[in-house]
Chain A
Amino acid sequence: MRSAPGSRLYCPYCYEDFAEQEIRFRCTGRISRDGRHCDPEIDEVLRGRTGFSGALPPVFAANGQLTSAPCPRCGAGTTTRVCPACHSQLPVHFGKVRSRLIVLVGAKESGKTVFMTVLVHELMHQLGEQLKAAVSGADDSTRHRFASEYEKPLYRESQLLAPTTTAGMRNRVPLVFRFTTGGHGLFGLDGWLGRSWPGRGGPQHTLLSFFDPAGEDLRSQQSVEQNVRYLAAADGVVLLLDPLQMRGARQLAAPGSRLPTPGTTDDEPATVLENITDLILATGGRKPNELISKPLAIVFSKMDVLRHDLRDTSPLRRPAVQAPYFDERDSQEVHTEIQRLLARWEGSRIDQIAQLHYRNYRYFGVSALGETPTPDNRVSARGIRPYRVADPFMWTLAQLGAIPVKRG
């Protein structure tokens, strides 16, 4: 991922950083003009990083700034570029287009996997249409995994997704999506706040990498530090918190709602925010007294079970704005509303932590499913009806200067 032209890149699969010229190539395995070819072999680097154990043509070093290179063994040309650290195939245009890394983190049972699945599904359907954008998997694995392991169970079989396993599993590869809009700036509008970069007139691509760590990984500083690399590489962080893990909110849940297992102190949203903050601080690059400038979207999930308790004038009781831009005023109203609710939910400590450490944070209230799941872990028979799931994503992109903002 490129944070600015000329700077170091972050692999969207392993999050290691490297310079563009360090990008490597993978031979196509086809017969070259002079009749030679490379046999597929097990790529130990790829297997070590991702668990993929199939045989592939070999990887070789060349000038990664070029889009193609001849294989030194067989002479056949290839355009398959791979990460020098993990050997994952890099998306088309990687390093050549502006890319954003958005990391989704959250506590155990906060609904990260469901949230991500619903968000991507929405981007592929209604939201994509609304934003005049197209979202697709950036590689075969993402396309296949998202369709078969995420979208199909949730949307076609109405089955809630199994809890994510712990990050110790080496073959948990992030899902990487390409977010494409028409030319003349994202969303076809002039909204780049004066910024410009090559290719502005043609289609614009943004790579989104979703790393979905297990909730258990974020309960304590000890397990979180394994994921510090992902946070260090992130351009924006979306932190999903379960308000029902807060005592004050839990008792307000609508009768019949499915409540999460009461957690320990480590599961409390404020503790999770503290841990994330410690990690971001540990990534370095700032003075001791400097606030964190990385945008942090603090998202409260499962708002459907608390909806009945909201005031009639609450912004969380009106439809989300459906427009091809980010509506700052609507977002500010939601932010203020959540601030007010935090006091009611006995969660003011969250606001104190956020104020003391972050220059740029925003609260959101969302519901991925729209209704509490059934006791047998299924989506309600009335289907999935997401509410405001795109708000944190839109805000993060807006903070990164990637979409236009409507103020006032």
Chain B
Amino acid sequence: MPWDREQYRLEVLEPARQAGNVPPADLYVRYGLPSDISDPVAFGQQVHEALDYWRELRSRRIYGRLAEALIARHAELAQDGPLTLEKFTERHAQARREQIDQLARLADAEAGAATHVGPATVARLRSALGRSVTDAEVTDALQRAGVRVVATFPQLPAAPHPKQADLAEHVRQLSKRLSAEVVFGDAVRHGFRVLGGFRLADSRRLDEAALDQARRQAGALPYSAPGKATTENVLAILRGAGRTPGDLDALLLSEVIEWLRQFAGRGFVQRAIAGQARELGLVEDEAGLIAAAMFAGGTLEPARQQVEEELTAGRLRTAQRLAAGLPADDLLRERVTALDAQVTVLVRSADQDLARGRRELAATRLAEAARIAGDDAGLAERLAALPPPPPRQASARVDGDHVLVSWEPSPAQAGRVRYRVRRGLDRAPVSPAEGTAVAAADGRNDVTDTEPPLGADLIYSVFADRGGEACSPPATAQSVVFAPDVTGVSVTAADTSVAVSWHAHPGTDAVLVVRGEGRPPRGTDDGTALEASLAGLTDAGLRTGTEYFYWIAATYRAPDGGRRQSAGIVVPAVPEPQPEAVTDLDAAVLDDGMPMVVASWTPPPHGQVRLAVSDERPPWPAGTRIGRQDAAGLTEISAPPRRGGDGRDSLQLRLPPGRHHLLALTWGASAIVVGNSAEVSLVGPVRDLSATRMHDAVQLAWVWPRDATDVVIRWPGGERRCSRRVYDDEGGVTITVGPAETCIEVRAVYPHPSGRLTAPAALVRVPGRGVAVSYRIRRAGPLHPRQRIVELTPERPTHLPALVLVRTTGPYAPDDPAGGETLGRIEPQPIAPGRPVTITVELPKGPAWLACFVDPDVPDADARAFLLFPPPAGEMRIR
């Protein structure tokens, strides 16, 4: 009979592959030999068949690794000469002994984690031994190790009982773990069963009688007893469940299961959970069975979830450890194995790349492996040991009182690249051990050297690494001399002098100043050299109105004793009289429907006055000198002022509603002086005005503008004032306007020192309503019990449209004319108060409803002109 390769693949190779590409330990199984083979020729043929098959599989993606392993093992067996049946039998017997020993060790290990196991565990152990042992042998080994093997586990509820959460909350408040303890007390700890119904070890059941007794005991407790109400709540929930057959037992089982699930969810093994169950009082066998059932069924899910999470987080090694607890045929376990294989291939390829000098490619592969197995410290170390390519184009420049070093990143393709910057004096550091360290830049391509030595030639080198000691060659910047300019320059000009002040670096040796007239000096020899201190100078005897330029440079002593000079800065100044602050700015509001602000002030003798506006009060007192950058933050008004006959300047402004602050600024050529400010309030109208007609009343609503305290409401024939407090506390405003179309205006009112300010009106138009016509239904008289008289009365004279009387037998009065049978019709006719229109109708027998509607044939516009009000339900109901 020819050898069946497909059967061999399914029964031998596939399990071996799933077990991590480990060749079966049983040589008969490994070579596909029948256990009773005795013919040396047939033996030799089968060995060759198997060997040929393995060689074919070497090129296959799935079985390649396993085939390589099988061929390698075959080579080992064949080391001592040709493989004979006799030698094979001897080796097989030895391997068998080793397997039985290994099985015993595995069973002992299993006993450390479980008290009860099922068929899945048996299969897992068999699989671990390459299926070279039988189920019976595994079962026997487990039982000898003290583990009970069961064929099936009890079915546990997949989800908590609906009342379990509430019950647990109350039970916890009573410092108990199970509700049965509330009923039976400590007897529960002495033993109970829960599979197949709750019962104590002494056979007592938790039934209605037990609950009644517990309730009586709770009822006898004083009100002051802390747990009285909670105990009653527990008993109420149990009693509720007891009303449905089987529900109480299901609830009690759920209590036990949910208590234990919290441990399963935290990764405790089955034996530990069985121990917890015994602590609850559950008898030993049920404790083990329930704990094992939790692992056999859906409770594996938390473990799977954890494995998934570890894989997602790139922690393959942790996932491998967790996956060992999953069944051998679990797909997730296979995925873990496949990822492990992928990591191995990546590492091997990286080794080959390194051998061929392709370092970045090797780093890329190691980084990929580390992404999958981030918890494999060896991978991270190997990656860190590969120096990355150096960074490019390093440069250094003086920036204020520090040196800024920057560079282009390293072209490294993998790993997290760090940079180390070293500063050298006169020579470039060639390794990270040379020079002075400048704070390492993590994730940035520049660094600030805050303590560069003054006046020296500084050369910066930048090294790259992947987190380890191995680093790239340096990228070196051009040398730079740290000689900063003075900072914080301030210029104060007077009629014929200029005062300049600055801040010099603490290491400054001297400050050089050269003055130019009409243009900036080009260097130390271009202009008039002035004597200056380290803090500033005063230049007197200048011509008023002439523009001067001051070139200022700091000098330093270098470590070699020479002098170094900063690049220098230039500041302009024009001697002129000091600008003076405005002291009498005034603002008034003209309200002629479109509020306008008029600002006026006395112009000062020197400087140009400009107005600025802001919502907040200005932070500076009058007389403060501010810089141009301060003034740049204000909203200036560009319109030119008008000079009045009284010598005051004035400006008319349109500003949005709200509170504003006007500020007068006096500008000089080199200074700005703050004057006084004036506050103005402009009033805005109410917003989003809405009106809802409610018969003759209208409910009004709006959004109040900030600062408005009242409104005035006007409508034809009425006016009402409403405060904001009343609006807020009494829920809006309702006014009575009558039936006609009405236009309503609402004006916001603001408090003001000069009296109240009233905002422009917000308008809303409310459509009119139809003429109200009411009808009543009464009996015609005792002689005509089935007759009804319908009488219509209007609120004012009008022309009645055609109406219909409709009868329906449903549970409610008819909602529209189509909802029932038309019993009568009222023709169009005039109607007035005191002259009602009536119609008498004869009703069929039986209870019904009677209602009146505008004839559906009447045009909509005419129908809407009427509001037909029905009588009380009692009149419409015909009994």
Contacts and interface: CB of A to CB of B under 8 A. Distances in A.
A34 to B, nearest CB: 28
Contacts of A44: 226
Contacts of B697: 318-319
Contacts of B732: 370, 382-385
B730 interface: yes
B231 to A, nearest CB: 12
Contact of B731 (A16, A226, A370): A370
Interface string A218-241: 001111011010000000000000
A84 B228 CA distance: 13
A317 B730 CA distance: 19
B211 to A, nearest CB: 14
Interface in B652-685: none
Contacts of A49: 229
A343 interface: yes
B435 interface: no
Interface string A14-32: 0010100000000000000
A226 B223 contact: no
A356 B692 CA distance: 38
Nearest to A44: B226
A317 B162 contact: no
Interface stretch (A141-149, A186-194, A245-253, A333-341): A333-341
Contacts of A333: 872-873
A73 B815 CA distance: 72
A307 B727 CA distance: 22
B688 interface: yes
A48 interface: yes
Nearest to A384: B731
Contacts, number: 104
Interface residues of A, number: 48
A313 B868 contact: yes
Interface string A36-56: 000000001100110000000
Chain A contact residues: helix, strand, loop or mixed:
helix
A344 interface: yes
A398 to B, nearest CB: 17
Given A155-B728, A383-B701, A226 B233 contact: yes
A87 to B, nearest CB: 8
A407 B223 CA distance: 45
Contacts of B169: 168
Contacts of B233: 226
Contacts of A307: 692
Nearest to B769: A312
Nearest to B167: A222
B795 interface: no
Contacts of A319: 694-695, 697, 699, 734
B872 A329 contact: yes
Interface in B686-737: 688, 690, 692, 694-695, 697, 699, 701-704, 727-732, 734
Interface in B754-777: 769-770
Contacts of A84: 223-224
A385 B730 CA distance: 8
A18 B868 CA distance: 55
A332 interface: yes
Contacts of A370: 699, 701, 731-732
B597 interface: no
B815 A385 contact: no
Interface in A162-195: 168, 170
Contact of B872 (A122, A228, A332, A340): A332
A382 B731 contact: no
A122 B233 CA distance: 36
Nearest to A386: B731
Contacts of B727: 383
B166 A226 contact: yes
B695 A16 contact: no
A44 B166 CA distance: 23
A73 B163 CA distance: 46
A370 B770 CA distance: 25
Contact of A16 (B223, B702, B729, B770): B223
Contact of B699 (A18, A45, A48, A385): A385
B694 A317 contact: yes
B57 interface: no
A167 B658 CA distance: 48
B868 A126 contact: no
Interface in A361-408: 370-371, 381-386
Interface string A303-326: 000010000110001110000000
Contacts of B703: 381-382
A98 interface: no
Contact of A382 (B240, B690, B868): B690
Contact of B236 (A122, A225, A318): A225
A344 B815 contact: yes
A371 B703 CA distance: 13
A226 B233 CA distance: 7
A336 B874 CA distance: 10
Interface in B219-261: 223-224, 226, 229, 233, 236-237, 240
Nearest to A316: B694
B685 to A, nearest CB: 14
A108 interface: no
B869 interface: yes
B694 A312 contact: no
A386 B224 CA distance: 43
Contacts of B240: 221-222, 225
B870 interface: yes
Contacts of A340: 812-813, 815
Nearest to A83: B223
Given A126-B729, A317-B694, A336-B873, A385 B812 contact: no
A150 to B, nearest CB: 15
Interface string A76-109: 0000000011110000000000000000000000
A121 interface: yes
A226 B704 CA distance: 45
A220 B162 contact: yes
Interface string B164-196: 001001000100000000000000000000000
Given A223-B166, A332-B873, A382 B226 contact: no
A377 B864 CA distance: 38
A213 to B, nearest CB: 14
Interface in B807-864: 811-813, 815, 864
A359 interface: no
A114 to B, nearest CB: 13
B731 A339 contact: no
A382 B701 contact: yes
B51 interface: no
A84 B225 CA distance: 11
A382 B733 CA distance: 11
Given A84-B223, A382-B703, A313 B731 contact: no
Contacts of B864: 312
B569 interface: no
22 contacts: A125-B730, A126-B730, A155-B729, A168-B166, A222-B162, A225-B237, A226-B233, A312-B864, A318-B694, A319-B695, A336-B813, A340-B813, A340-B815, A348-B811, A370-B699, A370-B731, A370-B732, A371-B701, A382-B688, A382-B690, A382-B732, A383-B704
Interface of B: 162-163, 166, 169, 173, 223-224, 226, 229, 233, 236-237, 240, 688, 690, 692, 694-695, 697, 699, 701-704, 727-732, 734, 769-770, 811-813, 815, 864, 867-870, 872-873
Interface of A: 16, 18, 44-45, 48-49, 84-87, 121-122, 125-126, 155, 168, 170, 220-223, 225-226, 228, 307, 312-313, 317-319, 329, 332-333, 336, 339-340, 343-344, 348, 351, 370-371, 381-386
Given A222-B237, A226-B166, 10 more contacts: A44-B226, A45-B223, A220-B162, A223-B166, A332-B873, A336-B813, A343-B812, A370-B732, A383-B728, A385-B732
